[in-house]
A = this chain, B = another copy of it.
Amino acid sequence: MGGNVLLENCSWVVTQNRNRDVLRDKHIIIEDGKVKAITGHIERSKRFDRVIDCKGKVVLPALINGHTHAAMTLLRGYNDDTELHDWLNSVWRVEAKLTGRDVEAGTLLACLEMLKTGTCCFVDMYFFMEDAAKAVEKAGMKALLGYGMLDFGNEEKRKEELRECKKLLELLKKKGNKRLRGVVAPHAIYTCSAELLQESMEIAKSYDVLYTIHLSETRKEVHECFRTHRKYPVEYLDDLGVLNDRFVGFHAAWLTRNEISLLARKGGGVVHCPVSNMKLATGGAFPFREYIKAGVLTALGTDGACSNNSLNMLEEMKFAALLQKWFRWNAREMSAQQALDMATVNASKLFRLNNGSVEPEKDADLLVLNAGSCFMLPHHNMVSNIVYASSYFTVEHVLIDGDVVIEQGKHTALGEEGVMSIFLKRVESLMERAETGDDE
């Protein structure tokens, strides 16, 4: 924790508080990793370990990436512009050769990219998660890490997967790093047996963690579910008893109205991934208006770099708002403010974090953008600028629990060149293994 930090003369503070106040010319006082005060005046006697001049800058909550497979940076640009099914097969062929070292290197590069584009925390689902955890710790980020479980109905595999899941949760408990938390992460209803889905929820309850799962990303999986179970996916999950306030569905593009009501009643939440959905042509659009009306919490995620191909939440917000408008033929659909809410305050609530707004007693997870860059001028509407015009070259600093993790666009602790060079070596080795079929 960075002791006492002062963000001095912040020209704008996009608080994301209940009133969504945008304050002008304030100082932000940070103590013991938390925002202490947002004030127009500082006592002269007050001493700070660190003072950052924020004149001409806008301070907002750092962003939360609600769904990704961080290590898939290893496969960024691999087999693009292909149909979802072909794409998945080609990706799985490479993933079969993954090692923990690959995942650590891929996750570390992902952390670097996320931090440099203003994200403080991400929700991950992948394999070799103990190695992913190492990377997150090196990067100084926050993350909710889930071991992606799939059993395809095989009982032996199921037991293995559940053991692996518990192992990760135990490891994270032992680490005692408050920035790292576990989640239970069955992959999807079409890769997991009913037993796996149910036993996963028991684990989630006993460890008091969230339950995250890919949900109704494509029409195909929805129809297959209906054909098999005579129920739509959310109804099926409810029958299994796994629908409650720990439940978080990724993508959630193809829900019926009845499923949305059911989700709302049970307290579950959803994460929208517009870029990935568009790139993989999953069709339909996240029914944002219906979720809002029903009171379902909505967050935003990039998905993996292999289906995006960025991990840039600034860009993701723009895609989210624009896709809704265009899909609904209504330019008022999903405002810039609503997109920002999904990436900050709503995500924080959904993932049970203590950040997402700039308010006293909240974690000092803050993003400082350069409002004076030519891309962000003029200042008719700062929230519009952040969502629609900030995706290029505007991130200056990122603070996590008051620690300055990104300063002037650079990571303060990691040697970026080293991270990238190790990453490229792992990619080379991985592709060679995928080609030859050899293991490392």
| Listed residue (A78, A331, A380, A424) with the most chain B CB atoms within 10 angstroms of its CB | A331
A344 CB–B CB distance under 8 Å: no
Which chain A residues numbered 79 to 104 have a C-beta less than 8 Å away from chain B?
79-84, 87
Which listed residue, B117, B281, B309, B336, touches A333 by the CB 8 Å rule? B281
> Which chain B residues lie closer than 8 Å to A372 at the CB level?
420
Supposing A82-B332, A322-B275, A424-B377 touch, asked if A392 and B393 sit within 8 A by C-beta, the answer is: yes
A112 CB–B CB distance under 8 Å: yes
Q: How far apart are the CA atoms of A83 and B116 in the complex, in Å?
A: 34
Which listed residue, B75, B81, B283, B392, touches A391 by the CB 8 Å rule? B392
Which listed residue, B77, B326, B328, B336, touches A380 by the CB 8 Å rule? B77
In the complex, what's the smallest C-beta–C-beta distance from A388 to chain B, in angstroms? 4
> Which chain B residues lie closer than 8 Å to A381 at the CB level?
77-78, 80
In the complex the two chains form, is B378's CB within 8 Å of A423's CB? yes
In the complex the two chains form, is B374's CB within 8 Å of A308's CB? no
> Which chain B residues lie closer than 8 Å to A55 at the CB level?
none
Q: How far apart are the CA atoms of A285 and B182 in the complex, in Å?
A: 42
In the complex the two chains form, is A309's CB within 8 Å of B384's CB? yes
Q: How far apart are the CA atoms of A109 and B377 in the complex, in Å?
A: 9
> Which chain B residues lie closer than 8 Å to A377 at the CB level?
73, 76, 109, 420, 423-424, 427
In the complex, what's the smallest C-beta–C-beta distance from A251 to chain B, in angstroms? 13
In the complex the two chains form, is B392's CB within 8 Å of A315's CB? yes
In the complex the two chains form, is B279's CB within 8 Å of A392's CB? no
Which listed residue, B87, B112, B275, touches A331 by the CB 8 Å rule? B87
A237 CB–B CB distance under 8 Å: no
Supposing A278-B322, A424-B377 touch, asked if A392 and B77 sit within 8 A by C-beta, the answer is: no
Q: By the criterion of a CB under 8 Å from any partner CB, how many residues of chain A are at the interface?
A: 69
Q: How far apart are the CA atoms of A331 and B276 in the complex, in Å?
A: 11
A375 CB–B CB distance under 8 Å: yes
Supposing A73-B377, A83-B330 touch, asked if A117 and B392 sit within 8 A by C-beta, the answer is: yes
In the complex the two chains form, is B76's CB within 8 Å of A385's CB? yes
In the complex the two chains form, is B281's CB within 8 Å of A378's CB? no
How many copies of this chain does the complex contain? 2
In the complex the two chains form, is A332's CB within 8 Å of B378's CB? no
> Which chain B residues lie closer than 8 Å to A65 at the CB level?
none
**CB nearest to A280 among chain B residues:** B331
A323 CB–B CB distance under 8 Å: yes
Which listed residue, B275, B277, B283, B389, touches A76 by the CB 8 Å rule? B389
Which listed residue, B87, B330, B374, B384, touches A113 by the CB 8 Å rule? B374
> Which chain B residues lie closer than 8 Å to A385 at the CB level?
76-77, 309
A223 CB–B CB distance under 8 Å: no
In the complex the two chains form, is B374's CB within 8 Å of A331's CB? no
Supposing A322-B275, A326-B283, A329-B281 touch, asked if A391 and B424 sit within 8 A by C-beta, the answer is: no
A-B contacts besides A80-B384, A80-B388, A281-B328, 12 pairs, CB < 8 Å: A81-B332, A83-B332, A112-B374, A275-B322, A279-B325, A281-B325, A308-B388, A310-B388, A310-B392, A312-B392, A319-B322, A377-B424
Q: Give the 5 A-B residue pairs with the shortest CB-CB distance, closest first.
A: A77-B384, A278-B322, A278-B326, A309-B388, A281-B331
Question: Which A residues form the contact surface with B (CB < 8 A)?
Answer: 73-84, 87, 109, 112-113, 116-117, 275, 277-283, 305, 308-310, 312, 314-315, 319, 321-323, 325-326, 328-333, 335-336, 372, 374-375, 377-381, 384-385, 388-389, 391-393, 409, 416, 419-420, 423-424, 427
8 contacts between A and B (CB under 8 A): A76-B385, A113-B374, A281-B326, A281-B329, A283-B329, A309-B389, A374-B419, A393-B409
